[in-house]
Structure 1
Amino acid sequence: MIEIPKAFIELLKQSFIEIDIEAFKDSLQEKPITSIRLNDSKLENYNISKENIQWCKNGYYLPERPQFIFDPLLHAGTYYVQEASSMLLERAFAKVKIDKKELRILDACAAPGGKTTHLLSLMSENDILVSNEVIKSRVQILVENVLKWGYSNVIVTSNETEIFNNLSETFDFVLADVPCSGEGMFRKDTAAIAEWSLNNVKLCSERQKKIISNLWSSIKPGGYIMYSTCTFNENENEDVINYILEKYEAQCISLDDTEIWGTKKNIKNKAIVYKCFPHLVKGEGFSFSLIKKEDDKEYNGKTKKKEIKKKIDFLSDKKNQLNYNHLINGENFICYQKNTEIWGIRANFKDFFEKIDTYLNVYTAGVPLIEIIGNKINPLPGYAFSLHLNRNYLPEREVDLRTALKLLKKETLNLEDCPKGWILITYNNKAIGFVKNIGNRANNPYPSNWKIISELPKDIQTPFLLQ
């Protein structure tokens, strides 16, 4: 039985919002909800016989939690395991899309990548997203999830939020899913209960105010910021929002249509916050608010200067066309070189990419293509998952479930009747990686930090999408 901190319950009772405390406490004793979101760019016209999440077109509940780690379709980027309440991002973003075109978007606290991949599925091809993670140790999981989702209109960075003061009036929409005290995760993670305290709530609130203040100048006049936490208390939600509204003379935007799904609207002074309580919404705890920056308001934050880096090494048009553009399934791409690697990015994003690269520490941008080492040309691992992969570039081999999992464990494969050289491995016609067949074996360059560490069970479940 989960023991809820008494101080947390008292804090909740002080809230402006009225909820059934006993029903709320009872809901925390229930089994956590399992939900996923499909990548419809990789699963076109796919029928799934599961309960749809009403506020998310491609979101679904699962009746039980499968062994996701042993599902090659997860590793192929065909779906993402994500908490259902957080998918309400889709409703807030719909408001932003009404009067905005060619959006420049920032996910400021992005790892592990759930909301970034969600945004990519909602964006148009002329929108571009900067997916930033402050904590260096969490960047690689963000990179993996972004590359496997397959979209090219995304730049992954790792910077403190102070740096964004250098990018004045750059973004039409900023998502700030800020670090918090984790109350909404009590049911899923008992460690969140152990770490919770009133002092931590206070510390989180101050850090949240600082994060939003750091990001504010990067929002265009008339642009939006979605503020969200996985907490319920007002210190980390309404009080932070009111601080921002007062400091910058901004306004909250109504999202009342979300109330039909059980969210509770709370108004405190000028702050409008929508909250998901697990006894009212089929999901975990989540709070969010959509804020609009006034059209005629400017705010110049304190800049944190950074040395200007060497320009991006874009390749000449002739060299692009002759050597690399045939790798990309798509038009109007330009290629650039990063050390020994060749990447592609849409030509209309060139100026924006250069601006971002000037100030931010860029990890990935666009489509990973190949690596050139001496006379050897090797496909980059992320290329296999790209929506712009040229499926005619290399021979393919479809494999069974156990062989697919051996690849994902970074084990050597034996492929009979395959030509020598690079081979694209697929499972259920979804690309999952490359191997280099040398005859008696196929060497496996799958990234070590992506590989499955767990031992394969004797009886492996058929992926739920194929059942």
Structure 2
Amino acid sequence: MQLPNAFVDMMKPLLGTAWPEFEASYDRTPQRGVRIDRWSVRADDPSRPPILQAVSRHLQGQVPWMPFGFYMDEESVLGKTVYHEAGAFYIQEPSAMAVALAVDPKPGERVLDLCAAPGGKSTAIARLMNNLGRLVANEIHPTRVKILAENLERMGAAAAVTNESPGALAKAWPASFDAILVDAPCSGEGMFRKDPEAAREWSQDAPAACAARQKDILRSAVKMLLPGGRLIYSTCTFNPMENEQIVAWMEDELGLVVEELPNWPLWSPGRPDFADGRIALSKTRRLWPHLAEGEGHFVARLRKPESATTNAYASLDGGRRSRSGRERRGEGRSVGGARGTGTKDWQNWLAEVYECPDNAIKTPILHKDIYFSDELAGLAVDGIRVLRPGTPLARREGNRIEPLHGLALRGLPKHFFNVKPLDEQAAIRYMAGDALANDEGLRGYVAMEHAGLCLGFAKAVPGRVNNLYPKGWRKQGLISLST
């Protein structure tokens, strides 16, 4: 491919003798990857069903730095299967998989993914926490936030979704998070091979403009970090201005301390010589496409001192807000929701449908007749645009409660009391919206199951099960892997 001349002029001196090998990497096919989520990749793991053999045949070797990540062929059909639609895996660029490992989330922590769309890193964070933390996934772009919400629901991730500027969130949530991920908007140089349009749109002014925007976002992010909390910064670009130099700026201007990241196989240490020569920058990590099978990426983890106070960060510019006009009109407010409303009815209904393993579902929020899992407990949401406070679980219509798709994808078949197993062909028909036979004489709401996955709900009546798969999610032409 033809690299921009200004990009060549910038990178060639930085890479020195490695430049020819780096340049030659653009003649290779971009790498695709898939991160297994609902299945176990180990035969000795009894907590999850084993990965389906029909799927494993399409995998081309493990991603060295991700225990449940695999390479797949560029022409792979895995994204057109019932397993993809049921959240068994997430198709993700291999180098991007390392970012959630850098977050290192623990069950019980409160984590914010500040620039989260389309959701690959958020869903990986939820997986690493076993859905036992409090995850907020934010995206400022109104179209991209809807894609984010759909991916989180498809993957069964326990997460709230907000659609706000970093500055607005910083004002509402000072010192609130154990970890914050800033997968920053960047000049995208690491994606040139995957997306040639990114190379055509790149300009020599892009890195400086992106670096200024990144600093605005990071000023807001550090305000929301608890003392002793960690900030994970990542980009998919190569230039030092958006990588090592931003990390050095965070140490100097935000008072953060760089932490050593793991020595992931085939990743390289950050380059102190790309900034001011400080040795701490070698604790960051870079993936170069001529040294590893993946696209370009940079990752750093920094720690906020335990002694830090909220007042110490109050003077930082919180970044530019983009919603002033809408806010003056009173739009974009929190969904709010009533905690505890109809709790007894909910719990009685849930006891007949689902063996509930977590409190966010046991005590949901009821908003506009929709029950949501409560992933925002403990956070003030007045004035914040909350797209979803958690997983949409059920709809209340008068005295009747009907399950929603999110509840099915949040759980495993073992969590439901009324389950109908399907083979792959029946699963394909179900996801297309067909009604199926009720040979088992089932009654009431039924979780449809295939290969250890919950596919969605149906309503069983004599002779058939009526399809409750959401109309907006239905797919025609899904591909069978068993034929």
TM class by shorter-chain length? Answer: 0.7 to 0.9
Retained in 2: the 8 A contact 1:85–1:284?
yes
**Which residue of 1 is the match for residue 451 of structure 2?**
428
Match of 1:239 in 2: 245
Counterpart of 1:373 in structure 2 is 397
Q: Residue 114 of structure 1 is aligned with which of 104, 120, 140?
A: 120
Q: Distance in 1 between matches of 2:347 and 2:463?
A: 36
**In 1, are the aligned partners of 2:90 and 2:120 still within 8 Å (CA)?**
yes
In 1: Cα distance, 2:302 partner to 2:369 partner: 43
Give the fraction of aligned pairs with identical amino acids, expressed as a percent: 27
Q: CA deviation at 1:162?
A: 0.8
Moved more, 289-298 or 42-51: 42-51
1:294 is aligned to: 305
- Match status 1:322 vs 2:348: yes
Partner of 1:266: 271
Equivalent in the alignment of 1:462: 481
1:80 is aligned to 90
Q: Provide the rounded CA distance (Å) in 1 between the counterparts of 2:415 and 2:132.
A: 24
1:186 aligns with 2:192: yes
CA RMSD of aligned residues (A): 3.1
Is the 8 Å Cα contact of residues 39 and 50 (structure 2) preserved in structure 1?
no
CA distance in structure 2 between the aligned counterparts of 1:374 and 1:19, rounded to whole angstroms: 71
Aligned pairs for 1:352-363 (under 5 A) are: 353-358=377-382, 360-363=384-387
Q: Does the CA-based 8 Å contact 1:28-1:187 persist in structure 2?
A: yes
Do structure 1's residue 276 and structure 2's residue 287 form an aligned pair? Answer: yes
Check conservation: 2:49, 2:452, Cα contact below 8 A: no
Equivalent residues of 2:337, 2:365 under 8 A apart? no
Q: What secondary structure is seen at the aligned counterpart in 2 of 1:150?
A: coil
TM-score of the superposed pair, with normalisation by structure 1:
0.85
Taking a change above 3 Å as real, the CA distance of residues 363 and 399 of structure 1, as seen in their structure-2 partners, is: farther
Q: Distance in 1 between matches of 2:447 and 2:75?
A: 30
Deviation at residue 157 of structure 1 after TM alignment: 1.5
Summarize the alignment of residues 14-413 of structure 1 with structure 2, pairs less than 5 Å apart. Answer: 14-15=13-14, 18=16, 20-40=18-38, 44=48, 46=50, 48=56, 50-94=60-104, 102-123=108-129, 126-152=132-158, 154-166=159-171, 167-255=173-261, 257-258=263-264, 260-267=265-272, 268-269=275-276, 270=278, 272=281, 273-297=284-308, 298-300=312-314, 301=316, 312-315=338-341, 318-326=344-352, 327-330=354-357, 332=359, 333-345=362-374, 353-358=377-382, 360-374=384-398, 376-387=400-411, 391-401=415-425, 403-409=426-432, 411-413=433-435
Distance 1:389 1:147 in 2: 16
Shift of 1:283: 0.7
Q: 1:125 to 1:115 in 2, by over 3 A?
A: closer
Q: Which residue of 1 aligns with 2:330?
A: none
Equivalent pairs, count:
445
Pair 41,359 (structure 1): closer, same or farther in 2 beyond 3 Å = farther
- After TM superposition, the score normalised by the length of structure 2 is 0.82
Q: 1:288 to 1:461 in 2, by over 3 A?
A: same
SS of 1:192's equivalent in the other structure is helix
